[in-house]
């Protein structure tokens, strides 16, 4: 039985921003009964016993949890390395000092773009300047700083400027992650997919920047899934290295797996060890026995594990099929068609992405699920369709 190395603790799905590529579930109402402080402390202790060494604290916006310092302190006492994945909103100097004293090891701050107007438009809220202030605070307090930038049609052409800003902020590491189409990104896929030309230009910029800043700033480039010949080894394999616990205690092999029609496993009902080792959910796609052809007889089956189960489900309606991103998949035409549409740009400037709604922790109803492109007023900000504007998984690097 493999042992988990990392736990993604999604402390809350509440967030002050409205990113249209957010990986949180579309129906946030299912997750509003959040785990208490003591429940998280028990989960972390069980995770440590299972072998987990790295704890990624995410959301939503984890800084909205008033007990974040307590949770970090408890995790540090258990010997977990803690990493805060945040929008930066709410990281006051006082809070940052408390988190540092509690033992927080690392901070990742998301950036939507290199300048305020575009960044705020993508985030659906005025936030750019506060993000910069948070990034500077992280450096002042001596933490290593990682900047996370989700790339898509609306900011891909600004990669050079984003990297310049990262240098100015003295980031130790930048993760340029092409959008992965789950959650709200799946909902907004037509408005977010870039063209091949955009990707080629961005990759050239990243190659040059890596040369220029070698040894001074690490640049991670997460490949654009839909444009590759082979799929990513999602989560390093189902139930092999990572697990996620959602705000309501549901445990998953990956944060996007909430979408799959599989039996739930919740830490309020079962110990984490049972969930990891014996739950039907974690066993369903573990290993290679479940694989259909062409994966079953493919030489790469232990390398990419047949790709992403969530992507297979979203694209084909069957989580047990070969990931259609793979050029060997019988469903690969679905990806070709989506890419062709993006390349032609025929949908691009007519489709307004839907902003993620303001996620209240107690009463927000499920968002409507009409077709992408319908004009809808988000609770935070309305998107203008001319032009439209649009966490933590193991990722493949490229370029």
Counting contacts by CB under 6 A, is residue 219 touching ligand SF4? Answer: no
Counting contacts by CB under 6 A, is residue 230 touching ligand SF4? Answer: yes
Q: Which residues contact 291 (CB under 8 A, 6 or more apart)?
A: 301, 306, 322
Counting contacts by CB under 6 A, is residue 177 touching ligand SF4? Answer: no
Counting contacts by CB under 6 A, is residue 390 touching ligand SF4? Answer: no
Closer by beta carbon to ligand SF4, 48 or else 321: 321
Counting contacts by CB under 6 A, is residue 179 touching ligand SF4? Answer: no
Closer by beta carbon to ligand SF4, 34 or else 323: 323
Sign of the four-CA dihedral 313, 255, 54, 173:
positive
Provide the minimum distance between the beta carbon of 293 and ligand SF4 in the complex, in angstroms, as a whole number: 8
Dig out the tokens for 379 from the structure: 């609770």
Q: Where are the alpha helices (DSSP H) in 213-323?
A: 272-278, 280-283, 301-304, 309-316
Sign of the four-CA dihedral 107, 111, 115, 117:
negative
Closer by beta carbon to ligand SF4, 54 or else 311: 311
Closer by beta carbon to ligand SF4, 110 or else 279: 110
Provide the minimum distance between the beta carbon of 12 and ligand SF4 in the complex, in angstroms, as a whole number: 9
Distances (CA, A) of 384 to 20, 22, 332, 353, 356: 13, 19, 33, 9, 15
Note whether 109 and 146 are within 8 A (CB).
Answer: yes
Q: What is the bridge-based pairing of β-strands 145-151 and 173-178? A: parallel
One of 258, 322, 348, 389 touching ligand SF4 (CB under 6 A): 322
Counting contacts by CB under 6 A, is residue 328 touching ligand SF4? Answer: yes
- Considering only residues 114-173, where is the footprint of ligand SF4 by CB under 6 A? none
Counting beta carbons within 10 angstroms of the beta carbon of residue 213, is it exposed (0 to 12), middle (13 to 18) or buried (19 or more)? middle
Contact positions vs ligand SF4 (CB under 6 A)? 15, 17-19, 22, 24, 59-61, 87, 110, 230-231, 294-295, 298, 300-301, 304, 306-307, 322-323, 326, 328, 356
């Amino acid at each position: 039985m493999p042992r988990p190395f990392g736990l993604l603790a999604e402390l809350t799905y509440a967030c002050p921003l409205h990113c249209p590529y957010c990986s949180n579930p579309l129906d946030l109402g299912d997750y509003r009964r959040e785990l208490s402080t003591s429940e998280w402390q028990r989960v972390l202790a069980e995770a440590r016993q299972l072998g987990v060494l790295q704890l990624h604290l995410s959301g939503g916006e984890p800084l909205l949890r008033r007990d974040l310092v307590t949770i970090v302190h408890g995790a540090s006492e258990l010997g977990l390395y803690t990493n805060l994945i945040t929008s930066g909103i709410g990281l006051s100097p006082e809070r940052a000092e408390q988190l540092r004293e509690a033992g927080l090891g690392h901070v990742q701050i998301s950036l939507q773009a290199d300048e305020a107007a575009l960044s705020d438009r993508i985030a659906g809220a005025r936030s750019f300047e506060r993000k910069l202030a948070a990034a500077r605070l992280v450096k002042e307090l001596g933490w290593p700083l990682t900047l996370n930038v989700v790339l898509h049609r609306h900011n891909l052409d600004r990669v050079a400027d984003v990297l310049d800003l990262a240098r100015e902020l003295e980031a130790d590491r930048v993760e340029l992650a092409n959008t992965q189409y789950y959650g709200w990104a799946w909902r907004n896929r037509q408005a977010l997919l870039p063209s091949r030309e955009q990707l080629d230009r961005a990759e050239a910029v990243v190659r040059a920047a890596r040369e220029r800043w070698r040894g001074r700033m690490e640049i991670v480039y997460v490949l654009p899934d839909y444009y590759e010949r082979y799929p990513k080894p999602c989560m390093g394999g189902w139930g092999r290295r990572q697990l996620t616990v959602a705000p309501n205690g549901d445990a998953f092999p990956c944060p996007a797996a909430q979408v799959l029609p599989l039996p739930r496993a919740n830490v309020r009902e079962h110990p984490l060890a049972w969930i990891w080792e014996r739950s039907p959910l974690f066993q369903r796609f573990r290993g290679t026995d479940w694989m259909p052809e062409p994966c079953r007889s493919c030489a790469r089956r232990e390398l990419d594990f047949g790709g992403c189960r969530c992507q297979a489900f979203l694209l084909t309606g069957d989580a047990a099929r070969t990931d259609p991103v793979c050029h060997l998949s019988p469903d690969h035409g679905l990806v070709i068609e989506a890419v062709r549409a993006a390349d032609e740009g025929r949908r691009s400037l007519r489709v307004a992405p839907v902003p993620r709604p303001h996620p209240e922790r107690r009463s927000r109803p499920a968002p409507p699920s009409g077709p992408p492109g319908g004009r809808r007023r988000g609770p935070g900000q309305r998107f203008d369709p001319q032009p439209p504007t649009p966490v933590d998984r193991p990722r493949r690097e490229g370029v």
